[in-house]
Chain A
Amino acid sequence: MIKRHIQHLHWRVGFGIIPKNLEILSRKEKTQVIDELFIDSTQISPLNVDTSDIDYIPNKAFLKDPINRDKFLKKSIQKTKELNYAWIERLTNPHELLREKMTLFWANHFVCKDNNIFHVQQFNNTLREYALGDFRDFVKAISKEAAMIKYLNNNQNRKQKPNENFARELMELFTLGVSNYTEEDVKESARAFTGYNFMFEGDFYIKSKDHDYDFKSFFGLRGRYDGDDIIDIILDQKQCAQFISEKIYNYFVNDVINSNHINEMVNVFYPNYNIEELMRFVFSSDWFYDEENIGAIIKSPIELLVGIQNIVPLLFKEPVDILKIQKLLNQILLNPPNVDGWKGDKNWIDSNTIMMRLKLPSILLNDSYISLKQKGDTNTTYLNQNVRHRKYNKIFNVEPNWNTFNKNFGNSTYKEIQETLILCSLNKGTELFLDNLNQMSKKEFCVQLMSLPEYQLC
Chain B
Amino acid sequence: MDRRKFIKNTSLASSLFLVPSFVRAFEDIANEKLGFRRLVIIQLSGGNDGLNTVIPINNDVYYRLRPKLAILKEDTLMLNDELGLHKSLLPLKRIYDEGHLSVINNVGYPNPNRSHFRSTDIWQTASSSNQYLKSGWIGRYLDNFDNQPHNAIEVNDSLSLVMKGRKINGLATRNPGIIFKLSQDPYFKRVLNYYNDEHLNEHNLGYLYKSMITAKSSAKYIYETSKTFTTKQKYPNSEFAQQLKTTAKFINSGLNTKVFYSSLDGFDTHVNQSKTQERLLKNYADSMASFIQDLKQQNTFKDTLILTFSEFGRRVEQNSANGTDHGSANNVFIIGENLKPPGIYNDLASLNNLDDNGDLKFEIDFRTIYATVLNRWLQVDDKKILNKSFKQLDFI
Not counting A256-B203, A298-B208, A358-B188, a sample of 4 additional A-B residue pairs whose C-beta atoms are within 8 angstroms of each other reads: A65-B320, A66-B271, A69-B270, A340-B132
Residue of A nearest to B202 (CB): A427
B215 touches A351 (CB 8 A): yes
Q: Does B17 sit at the interface, judged by CB under 8 A? A: no
Interface residues of A in 294-352 (CB under 8 A from B): 296-298, 327-328, 330, 337-340, 343, 345-346, 349-352
30 CB < 8 A contacts A-B: A70-B271, A70-B321, A296-B204, A298-B204, A328-B158, A338-B118, A338-B132, A339-B132, A346-B204, A346-B207, A350-B159, A350-B168, A350-B215, A351-B149, A351-B150, A352-B169, A354-B211, A355-B182, A355-B216, A358-B188, A359-B185, A362-B185, A370-B185, A371-B187, A427-B199, A428-B199, A430-B191, A430-B195, A433-B190, A448-B187
Q: Report the bound CA distance from A354 to B319 in whole Å.
A: 46
- Chain A residue nearest in CB terms to B129: A165
**In the complex, what residues of B have CB within 8 A of residue A327's CB?**
157-158
Task: Name B111-143 residues within 8 Å CB distance of A.
Answer: 117-118, 121, 130, 132, 134
Instruction: Contact check, A338 vs B157: say whether CB atoms are below 8 A apart.
Output: no
A349–B208 touching, CB < 8 Å: yes
How far, in whole Å, are A358 and B219 apart by their CA atoms in the complex? Answer: 15
Beta-carbon contact of A328 and B161 below 8 Å: no
Interface-centre pick from B134, B157, B173, B212 (highest chain A CB count, 10 A): B212
Taken residue by residue from 313 to 333, chain B's Cβ proximity to chain A (1 for < 8 Å, 0 otherwise) reads as 000000111010100000000
Nearest-CB distance from B179 to chain A (Å)?
6
Q: Is A18 among interface residues, defined by CB-CB distance under 8 A?
A: no
Q: Which residues of A contact B215 (CB under 8 A)?
A: 350-352, 354-355
Which residues of A sit under 8 angstroms from B171, Cβ to Cβ?
351-352
Contacts of A227 in B (CB 8 A): none
Determine, out of A84-92, A401-409, A450-458, the stretch whose residues face the partner at the interface. Answer: A450-458
Q: Which residues of B contact A359 (CB under 8 A)?
A: 182, 185
B323 and A66: CB pair below 8 A? yes
Question: Which residue in chain A gives the minimum CB-CB distance to B116?
Answer: A115
Please measure, in the bound complex, the distance between the C-alpha atom of A349 and the C-alpha atom of B168, giving whole angstroms: 10
Q: Which of B203-231 contact A (CB under 8 A)?
A: 203-205, 207-209, 211-212, 214-216, 218-219
B322 to chain A, nearest CB (A): 9
Closest residue of chain B to A356 (Cβ to Cβ) is B182
Total interface residues on B, CB under 8 Å, equals 52
Is A67 located at the chain interface by the 8 A CB criterion?
A: yes
Q: How far is the CB of A84 from chain B (nearest CB, A)?
A: 16
Q: Does B194 have its Cβ within 8 Å of any Cβ on chain A?
A: yes
7 A-B pairs closest in CB distance: A429-B196, A66-B321, A433-B194, A370-B187, A453-B208, A429-B194, A351-B215
List chain B residues, Cβ under 8 A from A278: none
Does B186 sit at the interface, judged by CB under 8 A? yes
Which of B130, B179, B187, B219 has the most chain A CB within a 10 Å cutoff?
B187
User: Contact string, A177-198, partner B, CB cutoff 8 A, digits 1/0?
Assistant: 0000000000000000000000
Q: Does B76 contact A (CB under 8 A)?
A: no
Q: Is A13 an interface residue (CB 8 A)?
A: no
Residues of chain B within 8 A of A424, CB atoms compared: 205
Interface residue tally for chain A (C-beta within 8 Å): 51
Q: Within 8 Å of chain B (Cβ to Cβ): is A164?
A: yes
The interface residues of chain B lying within 8 Å CB-to-CB of A256 are 203
CA distance A296 to B203 in the complex (A): 8
Q: Is the CB of B157 within 8 A of A67?
A: no
Chain A hits for B319, CB < 8 A: 66
Cα distance A255–B149 when bound, in Å?
A: 25
**A424 (CB) vs chain B CBs: closest residue:** B205
- The distance from the CB of B253 to the nearest CB of chain A, in whole angstroms, is 19
* B212 near A358: Cβ-Cβ < 8 Å: yes
Contact call A340/B134, Cβ cutoff below 8 A = yes
Q: Nearest chain-B residue to A339 (Cβ)?
A: B132
Q: CB-nearest residue of chain A relative to B197?
A: A429
CB atoms of A428 and B198 under 8 A apart: yes
CA distance A168 to B130 in the complex (A): 10
Tell me how far the C-beta of A256 lies from the nearest C-beta in chain B, rounded to whole angstroms: 8
Judge whether B374 is part of the interface by a CB distance below 8 angstroms. Answer: no
Given the complex, which residues of B lie within 8 Å of A164, measured CB to CB? 130
Q: Chain A residues with Cβ under 8 A from B204's Cβ?
A: 255, 296-298, 345-346, 457
Chain A residues whose CB sits within 8 angstroms of the CB of B121 once the complex forms = 337-338
B258-273: CB near A (< 8 Å → 1, else 0) gives 0000000000001100
Take A352-B159, A358-B212, A429-B195 as given contacts and tell me if A65 and B117 are in contact as well, using a CB distance cutoff of 8 Å: no
Q: In the complex, A165 Cα to B122 Cα: how many Å?
A: 14
Q: How far is the CB of B226 from chain A (nearest CB, A)?
A: 16
Q: Does A158 touch B at the CB level, under 8 Å?
A: no
Chain A: CB-nearest residue to B219: A355
Q: Is B172 an interface residue (CB 8 A)?
A: yes
Give a binary string over B158-195; 1 marks a CB under 8 Å from any A CB, 0 the rest.
11010000001101110000010011011110110011
Given the complex of chains A and B, what is the CA–CA distance between A199 and B207 in angstroms? 49
Q: Which of B117, B150, B191 contacts A433 (CB 8 A)?
A: B191
CB distance from A271 to the nearest CB of B (A): 30
A142 at the B interface (CB under 8 A)? no
A456-B199 contact given A66-B319, A69-B270, CB 8 Å threshold: no
Contacts of A430 in B (CB 8 A): 191, 194-196
Q: Are B270 and A66 in contact (CB under 8 A)?
A: yes
A457-B157 Cα distance, complex, nearest whole Å: 24
> Is residue A39 contacting chain B, with contact meaning CB distance below 8 A?
no
Tell me whether A432 is interfacial, beta carbon within 8 Å.
yes
Give the CA-CA distance A372 to B190 in the complex, in Å: 8
CB pair A427–B185 under 8 Å, yes or no, is no
B325 to chain A, nearest CB (A): 8
Task: Indicate which residue in A65, A298, A362, A453 contacts B212 across the interface (CB closer than 8 Å).
Answer: A453
A349 and B320 contact, Cβ closer than 8 Å, known pairs A330-B159, A355-B219: no
Is A81 close to B, CB under 8 A? Answer: no
With CB as the reference atom, state the residue of chain A lying closest to B187: A370
The docked-state distance in angstroms from the alpha carbon of A451 to that of B319 is: 53
Q: How far is the CA of A427 from the CA of B173 in the complex (A)?
A: 30
Please report the C-alpha to C-alpha distance between residue A96 and residue B38 in the assembled complex, in whole angstroms.
53
The answer for the CA separation of A117 and B236 in the assembled complex, in Å, is 37
In the assembled complex, the Cα of A448 lies from the Cα of B185 at a distance in Å of 12
Given A330-B159, A457-B204, residue A427 in contact with residue B195 (CB < 8 A) = yes
Among A70, A298, A350, the one with the most B-chain Cβ atoms within 10 Å of its Cβ is A350
Q: How far is the CA of A424 from the CA of B199 in the complex (A)?
A: 13
**Cβ of A128 < 8 Å from any Cβ of B?**
no
Task: Tell whether A113 is near chain B: CB-to-CB under 8 Å.
Answer: yes
Chain B's closest residue to A435 (CB) is B194
- In the complex, what residues of A have CB within 8 A of residue B209's CB? 427, 453
Cα–Cα distance between A328 and B211 once the two chains are bound (Å):
17
| Most chain A CB inside 10 Å of its own CB: which residue of B150, B172, B182, B204 | B204
Q: Is the CB of A428 within 8 A of B216?
A: no
B213: nearest chain-A partner, CB-CB: A354
> Which residues of the other chain, B, contact A296 by a CB distance below 8 angstroms?
203-204
Contacts of B188 in A (CB 8 A): 355, 358, 451
- B154 → A minimal CB distance (Å): 9
Q: Which residues of A contact B205 (CB under 8 A)?
A: 424, 427, 453-454, 457
- Compute how far the CA of A433 lies from the CA of B209 in the bound complex, rounded to whole angstroms: 15
In the complex the two chains form, what is the Cα distance from A370 to B188 in whole Å? 9
How many Å from the CB of B210 to the closest CB on chain A?
A: 10
